[in-house]
Amino acid sequence: MGAEAGGGDPRKTPWEAGAGGPREAAAEAVHRVRLYAAVASGGFRRYATYGTATAAGVFTNTVFGFVLAYTFIALWDERPHLGGYDQGQALAFIWVSQSLLAAAALLGGGFQEELQERIRTGDVAVDLYRPADLQSWWLAADLGRAGFQLLGRGLVPVLVGALAFPVALPADPVRWLLFLPAVLLALVVSFAVRFLLGLAAFWLMDGAGINMVAGLVSIFCSGMLLPLSVFPGGFGDVIRVLPWAAMLQVPVDVLLGKGAGAGGAVRALAFQAGWALALLGAGRLLQSAATRKVVVQGG
């Protein structure tokens, strides 16, 4: 059956809310910051309860890291400085990438399947009439999930890899400081892509196919298997400017100091920020289109 989502919209974002003066606007902003902080905290706690799944994920990431590490050692023995990395940097690329896989949900495990299911069943109507913006709500929850995955599944593989292999992690604290916003932007870009996938269920009603395609694209276009700088010619030029590069390749390169010093890091962060803004904007437009007329199945 069809249901119209019309009338006044209580789900305004902070920049849309409250023209009642600066004091009211400030109070509204504080309220929303507290709300989304609570949502993020809830996302963190929710995934922290899955101890067995987290341990299994750590084991999987570590084993996959070992497989890739020995593959890279053989490859870099034959082709030293392949893609502009020496062997130690290539090994660092592997293990830092492993720490980001679950956080960026490059192999699934994010929120989009849950959102697609809520759209399919009609439960999304509850989300749409919360006094909170749909996109911001899911972003906060996903950042909370990602925060736990970085700590729960990301640290151990990096430590194991650093102990088992001659990993060339940087000693310069500036690189680590630049790595932090690069990771945050990577998570936002990842969310923005998956939010679009989730909203696609308003029209497709089943997200399995599009999720599978997106997963395959993530594997090959993020740098998960090989650094994207390895790919030559026009294909390499194209793949390095896609949003998936911003999720994995770019933050690792920022940490490893690839690019022309601080200027290269700034350009990398600007690249990520550009994709984040563009994709979040696309998500907001798609959300507006979807909520103008919601088609509910099974509810």
Reading the chain (299 residues) residue by residue, the pLDDT tens digits are 344 344 445 445 544 444 557 888 888 888 888 999 999 999 999 999 999 999 999 999 999 999 999 999 999 999 999 999 999 999 999 999 999 999 999 988 889 999 999 988 888 888 888 888 999 999 999 999 999 999 999 999 999 999 999 999 999 999 999 999 999 999 999 999 999 999 998 888 777 889 999 999 999 999 999 999 999 899 999 999 999 999 999 999 999 998 766 788 999 999 999 999 999 999 999 999 988 756 444 44
Measured CA to CA, the distance from residue 117 to residue 255 in angstroms comes to: 37
* pTM (predicted TM-score): 0.88
Which pLDDT belongs to residue 274?
A: 98
Taking residue 14's Cβ as centre, other Cβ atoms within 10 Å add up to 16
**CA angle 220-225-229, nearest 5°?**
80
Residue 109: predicted pLDDT? 80
Q: Which pLDDT score, from 0 to 100, does residue 261 have?
A: 66
Domain ranges of the chain: 7-295
Would you give the DSSP letter of residue 106? Answer: B
The 8-class DSSP code of residue 150 comes to: I
Output b/e per residue, 15-39; b: 16+ Cβ within 10 A: eebbeeeeeeeeeeeeebeebbeeb
